[in-house]
């Protein structure tokens, strides 16, 4: 059975994973309207992954005797300045999520909830992979410059490790 504190912080994470999914969905839609089908495909896939993360939390909270809450989500931005800025924003957001996952782990340890501390390790690893993959995209952008965006759009799906 989850303690109240762990249940609450997992519910906070449900909201954050759901918001991440909507944020990447909004970014995907924007990129699609700018003719960047490859970058849009990457973002749509990322959005699906984040929804999967939200579902993982929902199921875990319910399985452990808590009650998962499906919250309202803040509306993500509709417009983005450009592709380099968009991916910088993705990396910033992923770093925020990494810190948030660490807080779930810290709460589990403080509550002596070894099961949750163990379960959350999947997310700890996932965040390392996500930060690495977004950093890789940013590195390619700075290597290729603004004019290389065409090639990034063409090849970005090959950069997805999974």
**Does residue 53 touch ligand OFO according to CB under 6 A?**
yes
* Alpha-carbon gap, residue 13 to 127, rounded angstroms: 13
Task: Write down the least CB distance from residue 147 to ligand OFO, Å.
Answer: 29
In the numeric block, which tokens belong to residue 14?
């449900």
Region from 1-9, 80-88, 112-120, 124-132 binding ligand OFO, contact rule CB under 6 A: 124-132
* Alpha-carbon gap, residue 139 to 91, rounded angstroms: 12
- DSSP letter, residue 81: S
**Does residue 20 touch ligand OFO according to CB under 6 A?**
yes
**Does residue 17 touch ligand OFO according to CB under 6 A?**
yes
**Does residue 7 touch ligand OFO according to CB under 6 A?**
no
Task: Write down the least CB distance from residue 126 to ligand OFO, Å.
Answer: 6
- Kindly give, in sequence order, each residue whose CB lies less than 8 Å from that of residue 51, ignoring residues fewer than 6 positions away: 17, 18, 21
Region from 22-30, 71-79, 109-117, 121-129 binding ligand OFO, contact rule CB under 6 A: 121-129
Residue of the chain from 24, 30, 60, 123 that contacts ligand OFO (CB under 6 A): 123
Annotate 89-107 with DSSP letters as a single string.
HHHHHHHHHHHHHHHHHHH
Task: Write down the least CB distance from residue 150 to ligand OFO, Å.
Answer: 27
Asked if 151 contacts 144 with a C-beta cutoff of 8 angstroms, the reply is: yes
């Amino acid at each position: 059975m989850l303690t109240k504190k762990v249940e609450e912080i997992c519910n906070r994470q449900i909201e954050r994973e759901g918001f991440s999914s909507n944020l990447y969905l909004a970014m995907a839609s924007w990129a699609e309207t700018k003719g960047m089908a490859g970058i849009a495909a990457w973002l749509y896939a990322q959005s699906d992954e984040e929804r999967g993360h939200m579902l993982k939390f929902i199921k875990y909270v319910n399985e452990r005797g808590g009650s998962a809450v499906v919250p309202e989500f803040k509306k993500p931005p509709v417009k983005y300045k450009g592709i380099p800025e968009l991916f910088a924003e993705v990396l910033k957001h992923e770093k925020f999520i990494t810190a948030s996952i660490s807080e779930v782990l810290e709460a589990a340890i403080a509550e002596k909830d070894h099961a949750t501390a163990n379960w959350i390790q999947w997310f700890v690893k996932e965040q390392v992979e996500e930060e690495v993959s977004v950093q890789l995209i940013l590195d390619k952008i700075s290597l290729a410059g603004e004019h290389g965006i065409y090639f990034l759009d063409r090849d970005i799906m090959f950069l997805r490790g999974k």
